[in-house]
């Protein structure tokens, strides 16, 4: 037995449509990074630290879209893998900054290449103009709703 959803329900359900696209894109990125031995969270952390400047955990959590406890676990794991290191901030000794290690910078190069390949695949599937339009619309929505 096949069930159908009334068009009016699916047309109005913006949140569901966004979630379906987000799951598909994230799933593809997760698989691409998994082949490189990384997680999406690790790549996001390293991509933020790729500027060579140390950052506090609060900034990293906001960028990586992670809660503080989850980020702590991710960073702990990355420290144990020698991908990042923690240092006390010279200007504020109460604050700890996280930096990419040399090994982390090398990993970031590989991981970013895998993400870029997957993004090219997504662009091929969706079309260049559609991806550009989607990015513009999502950035605009984020600014207006955020």
Q: What is the pTM of this model?
A: 0.86
* Cα–Cα dist 133/59, whole Å: 28
Q: What is the pLDDT of residues 47-77, one digit of tens each?
A: 999 999 999 999 999 999 999 999 999 999 9
What percentage of the chain exceeds 70 in pLDDT? 92
Sequence-separated (6 or more) residues with CB below 8 Å from residue 83? 42, 46, 100, 101, 103, 104, 107
Q: Where are the domains of the chain?
A: 23-145
The residue among 54, 43, 68 whose CA lies nearest residue 100 is 54
Question: CA 121, 124, 130 angle in degrees (round to 5)?
Answer: 120
| Predicted confidence (pLDDT) at residue 127 exceeds the cutoff of 90 | yes
* CATH class of domain segment(s) 23-145: mainly alpha
Give 73-110 pLDDT, tens digit per residue. Answer: 999 999 999 999 999 998 988 899 999 999 999 999 99
């Amino acid at each position: 037995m096949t069930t159908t959803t009334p068009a009016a329900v699916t047309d109005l359900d913006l949140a569901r449509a966004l979630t379906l696209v987000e799951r598909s894109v994230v799933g593809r990125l997760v698989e691409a990074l998994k082949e490189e031995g990384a997680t999406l969270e690790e790549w996001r952390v390293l991509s933020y630290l790729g500027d060579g400047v140390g950052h506090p955990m609060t900034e990293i959590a906001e960028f990586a879209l992670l809660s503080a406890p989850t980020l702590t676990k991710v960073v702990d794991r990355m420290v144990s893998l020698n991908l990042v290191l923690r240092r006390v901030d010279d200007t504020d000794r109460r604050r700890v900054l996280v930096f990419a290690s040399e090994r982390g910078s090398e990993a970031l190069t590989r991981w970013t290449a895998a993400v870029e390949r997957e993004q090219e695949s997504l662009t091929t599937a969706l079309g260049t103009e559609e991806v550009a339009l989607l990015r513009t619309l999502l950035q605009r929505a984020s600014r207006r709703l955020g």
